[in-house]
Amino acid sequence: MGPRLQSLRYENDGQLPSLIAGLTSTHKEGPYWDFKREWHRDKAKLLHDIICLANNPEGEVALLIIGIDESADYTVYDLNQHPDNRMNTQQLNDMLHKVRWADAVPPVRVVSTFLEDGCVDTIIIEPDDEGVPYRLNADYTYTEKRNGKTIGKTVVRAGTIYSREQDSNVPVDSTASPLATERLWRRHFGLDKTPLERLPRLLKDSRKWQRTWPVMPRDDEGGGYSYYHEDFPEFTFVRKYEEDKGACEYFMLASPFFDHPHWWQARFYYHQTMLCFIDGAYSDHLWIPAPTWSTIGDSRDFWDFSRVIHYGYYLANSIEDVLISFELDESKEGKTAQWDLQRVRTMIPVFQDRAEKDDFERWVLARWDYYLECCKNQQKSFFLSKRTGKGINEEIASNLEKQARCSTTLVDLLAYFRLSS
């Protein structure tokens, strides 16, 4: 794919006007985008289009752009003037959930975009690798009748894998090529990813991880313990106690019983190669991966909460985000860790990606007085035990408690930010 098309990929809804203009200027369809003049009357054809795009070979966010007339030099066909069969997100999802799927339903939503020459609708399809290849468990048939007589019938067939071939759909009465089908199944099982890319998905099911002895020398020092994945035993990890690390961070206040830091480092191996390591600390029953740090405001005075907030965050589906739920399996800590996890989720924001994090930080900074008011009125409270270890005086303890409340306020505001975006 050429450099120009490399830049024509979906990033966010705000980018849609320029993205649609760029795609239409190519005067062709592509592996992850398709144009339609108007909304489908034949719901089976709409379903077929969605499945093909959801199984696109690029694994990209796919776009079914409705309101572009290919026969008129890819000009806008204003849907506000031609609203027949138009659907919103709720209506489209209602239709899809009435279909009998073999596994997952493709995540879709409808976004209306007002361009210079009129309004177009874009069905944004965000395929999940675990869901591909999307396929049906029963035939879906649409029969078109006129004056009581059948004039056409479209059948999307059960078990058939549909996809895109360059700029076209696999025909509804055909199936994807063996190579395209293999690529989709490799995505499904994560076999097209590097070991490090596969790790978060493997960690999601902690029941699959069984206790074993440490793989590498010295990993058992300090009470370290190890796990291996029962399906892919080449993946192992060990948590090793860090006796020389004594820093106290605000996320440790997730447990009201916290009295001093218990730092443990998680080390992840593929065969005998270390993929990565992650520092974290126990808060009662839950091992909490240390979040990534960020700053909003004037960072010159670390503890001036009226001017700055230093807070930790996770990215959704990152190793840290997935790992925090690892202990909830009954073969580990089980339900005893659930309460601590709920507290962490109220303290540490989880962003969908770095773009959302950056947008949110700008949003907070533009509403700084409102943020300060919310911090002042924050109802959740956090306290350090008076038994806290050496080096934690009353001033540091107070600052950590304030930091926890401010970070909790950011979690509250993130939910508001998403609703208002």
**pLDDT number for residue 32:** 96
Whether the pLDDT of residue 124 is over 90: the answer is: yes
Q: What is the mean pLDDT of residues 223-238?
A: 87
**pLDDT number for residue 414:** 97
Class of residue 325 by CB neighbours under 10 A (exposed 0-12, middle 13-18, buried 19+)? middle
Tokens representing 320? 């840290």
Whether the pLDDT of residue 111 is over 50: the answer is: yes
Which of 228-232, 260-264, 273-277 is predicted with the least confidence, judged by mean pLDDT? 260-264
Half-sphere exposure of 8 (CA within 13 A, CB side): 22
Confidence label for 3 from pLDDT (cuts 50, 70 and 90): very low
Provide the 10 A C-beta neighbour count for residue 390: 7
Q: 286 or 411, which is more confident?
A: 411
Which secondary structure element, helix H or strand E, spans residue 112, and what is its range? strand 108-115
CB 267 within 8 A of CB 237: yes
**pLDDT number for residue 240:** 87
pLDDT in tens, 71-87: 999 999 999 999 999 99
Say what the pTM is.
0.74
pLDDT in tens, 15-69: 999 999 999 999 999 999 999 999 999 999 999 999 999 999 999 999 999 999 9
Class of residue 251 by CB neighbours under 10 A (exposed 0-12, middle 13-18, buried 19+)? buried
Q: 351 or 284, which is more confident?
A: 351
Percent of the chain whose predicted confidence (pLDDT) is above 90: 65
Interior CA angle at 398 toward 377 and 295, to 5°? 70
DSSP-assigned letters across all residues of 198-235: HHHHHHH-GGGEEEE--SSTTTTTTS-EEEEESS-TTE
Provide the 10 A C-beta neighbour count for residue 274: 14
**pLDDT number for residue 374:** 95
Of the candidate CATH numbers 3.90.105, 1.20.1250, 3.40.50, 3.30.950, the domain formed by 3-189 belongs to 3.30.950
- The dihedral region occupied by 53, where left means phi > 0, alpha psi between -120 and 50, and beta the remainder, is alpha
Residue type, 137: N
Whether the pLDDT of residue 298 is over 80: the answer is: no
Q: What is the mean pLDDT of residues 296-312?
A: 83
Q: What is the mean pLDDT of residues 250-268?
A: 84
CB 68 within 8 A of CB 37: yes
Whether the pLDDT of residue 265 is over 80: the answer is: yes
Provide the 10 A C-beta neighbour count for residue 364: 20
Which secondary structure element, helix H or strand E, spans residue 341, and what is its range? helix 338-347
Q: What is the mean pLDDT of residues 88-111?
A: 97
Q: Which residue has the tokens 């993929």?
A: 275
- Determine how β-strand 225-229 pairs with β-strand 235-241: antiparallel
Distance of CA 64 to the CA centre of its chain: 21
For the chain, give every domain's residue range.
Answer: 3-189, 195-420
Interior CA angle at 58 toward 134 and 85, to 5°? 55
Distance CA 348, CA 280 (A): 14
**pLDDT number for residue 101:** 98
Half-sphere exposure of 396 (CA within 13 A, CB side): 12
Whether the pLDDT of residue 6 is over 60: the answer is: no
- Residues with Cβ within 8 Å of 239's Cβ and at least 6 positions away in sequence, in order, are 224, 225, 226, 264, 265, 266, 267, 287
Q: What is the mean pLDDT of residues 89-93?
A: 97
Is there a cis peptide before residue 133, judged by omega within 30 degrees of 0? yes
pLDDT in tens, 358-396: 999 999 999 999 999 999 999 887 766 554 555 567 777
Whether the pLDDT of residue 222 is over 50: the answer is: no
Q: What is the mean pLDDT of residues 106-112?
A: 97
pLDDT in tens, 151-189: 889 999 999 999 999 899 999 999 999 999 999 999 998
